[in-house]
């Protein structure tokens, strides 16, 4: 039965890959509407022919990888169960110590290491692709360092999450999903609180904005928006990427405004102020809280569905999956498989809401600064720096885009300024 499942899974995955290849590279479309050709939103107006070609190639490859890698991870989880690897990881972990926490840590280390090694070639290809197209400036040793930090940060958090999760499952096999969800609330807030001061500095150096004149302008803008903020930070991203970015992160006393040094080096003050006003719009309209509420709601539904599916699948196919009981740590790959599928399936909904929030933030930034022209040029420079696809195919937009497309953003801002033509 396990062999049959494996063959069917491989065949379905192969057919899916063929379909996505045809869609991304031949069917999906994504061309510029005739009505927008020659306008500020048309990439041909602000990108060279070489940049347009590179953008098209790079976007297609990245989109294809996105749609293929996620189901590939599901396939890996399935084979870890079918081949008895999860059972073997559990056996090794439990034979080393009697302490449950250490057993969980040992199991997670073996599973995490296996997944890291299996998926490493794809991660490296993504890195090499970014280097090839001039997006990444990071050398291999630095990239590996970030990868190792990622591994241990995720491992540490997973030890805590999984240990609590399986303790709850052992205490209540029927309502563990509800108790897990209740604990998700304080845990998520705690992670958001420590992110800017504990986790982010592991990857990059953060320091107060050196350009005090620009900092004063940003803080004045924040004051106009009634946003409490004392400092603006910059981060040294030029050694890793040519892309541009700025964001507001953290909650409470740890909230901060952050600008990549690439953004500071390549955008004008007015363009930076528009981007900052956009981020402030998220704060003013309380998007972080609405986003958190939506995340918690979807988590509640997701955990409930996961609990039902895990119980049903173990009862019916437990022998094939090498799982005896739901509270066995060896069932973790099944939990990860189901939650990953649900997260992928729900991404069009979360992305749609996120795009709405981003549109609102753009509108707020225009109202606050009145810098329509700076907004247009900022979007154009962001597109050029990241070789972004301004008008992606529908499936790509639904599953990948948490922001409106650059075509939509530029067109909307330019239309208000009267510079569409």
Minimal CA–CA distance to 174: which of 343, 337, 326, 314?
Answer: 326
Taking residue 19's Cβ as centre, other Cβ atoms within 10 Å add up to 12
H helix or E strand, kind and range, residue 261? helix 261-266
Residues 6+ apart with CB under 8 A from 321: 81, 82, 313, 314, 334
Would you please indicate which residues are annotated as catalytic (active-site) residues?
279
The C-alpha angle with vertex 153 and arms to 147 and 156, in degrees rounded to 5, equals 140
Q: Residue 45 has which token pair?
A: 């107006």
Residues 6+ apart with CB under 8 A from 241: 130, 135, 136, 137, 138, 260, 262
| CA atoms of 30 and 220, how far apart (whole Å) | 40
Strand intervals (E) in 184-295: 206-208, 232-235, 246-249, 256-260
Q: Residue 174 has which token pair?
A: 């029927």
Minimal CA–CA distance to 295: which of 357, 248, 245?
Answer: 357
């Amino acid at each position: 039965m396990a062999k049959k499942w494996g063959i069917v899974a491989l065949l379905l995955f192969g057919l899916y890959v063929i379909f996505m290849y045809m869609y991304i590279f031949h069917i999906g479309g994504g061309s510029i509407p005739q009505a927008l050709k020659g306008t500020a939103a048309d990439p041909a107006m602000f990108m060279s022919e070489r940049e347009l070609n590179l953008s098209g190639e790079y976007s297609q490859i990245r989109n294809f990888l996105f749609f293929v890698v996620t189901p590939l991870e599901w396939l890996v989880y399935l084979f870890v169960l079918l081949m008895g690897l999860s059972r073997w990881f559990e056996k090794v972990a439990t034979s080393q110590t009697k302490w449950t926490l250490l057993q969980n840590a040992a199991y997670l280390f073996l599973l995490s290491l296996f997944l890291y090694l299996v998926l490493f070639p794809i991660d490296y290809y993504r890195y090499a692709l970014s280097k090839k197209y001039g997006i990444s400036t990071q050398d291999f040793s630095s990239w590996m360092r970030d990868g190792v930090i990622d591994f241990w940060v995720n491992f540490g958090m997973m030890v805590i999450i999984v240990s609590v999760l399986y303790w709850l499952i052992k205490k209540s096999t029927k309502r563990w999903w509800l108790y897990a969800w209740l604990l998700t609330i304080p845990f998520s807030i705690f992670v958001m609180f420590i992110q800017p001061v504990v986790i982010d500095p592991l990857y990059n150096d953060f320091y107060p904005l050196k350009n005090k004149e620009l900092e004063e302008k940003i803080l004045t803008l924040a004051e106009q928006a009634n946003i409490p903020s004392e400092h603006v930070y910059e981060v040294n991203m030029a050694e890793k990427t040519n892309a541009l970015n700025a964001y507001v992160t953290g909650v409470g006393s740890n909230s901060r405004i952050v600008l990549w040094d690439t953004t500071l080096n390549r955008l004008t003050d007015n363009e930076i102020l528009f981007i900052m006003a956009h981020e402030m719009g998220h704060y003013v309209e309380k998007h972080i809280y609405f986003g958190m509420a939506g995340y918690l709601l979807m988590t509640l539904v997701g955990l409930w569905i996961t609990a039902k599916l895990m119980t049903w699948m173990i009862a019916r196919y437990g022998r094939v999956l090498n799982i005896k009981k739901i509270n066995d740590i060896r069932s973790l790959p099944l939990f990860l498989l189901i939650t990953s599928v649900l997260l992928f399936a729900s991404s069009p909904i979360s992305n749609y809401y996120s795009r709405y929030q981003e549109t609102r933030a753009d509108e707020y930034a225009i109202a606050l600064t009145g810098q329509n022209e700076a907004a247009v040029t900022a979007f154009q420079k962001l597109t050029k720096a990241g070789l972004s696809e301004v008008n992606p195919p529908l499936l790509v937009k639904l599953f990948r885009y948490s922001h409106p497309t650059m075509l939509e953003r530029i067109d909307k801002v330019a239309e208000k300024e009267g510079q569409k033509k």
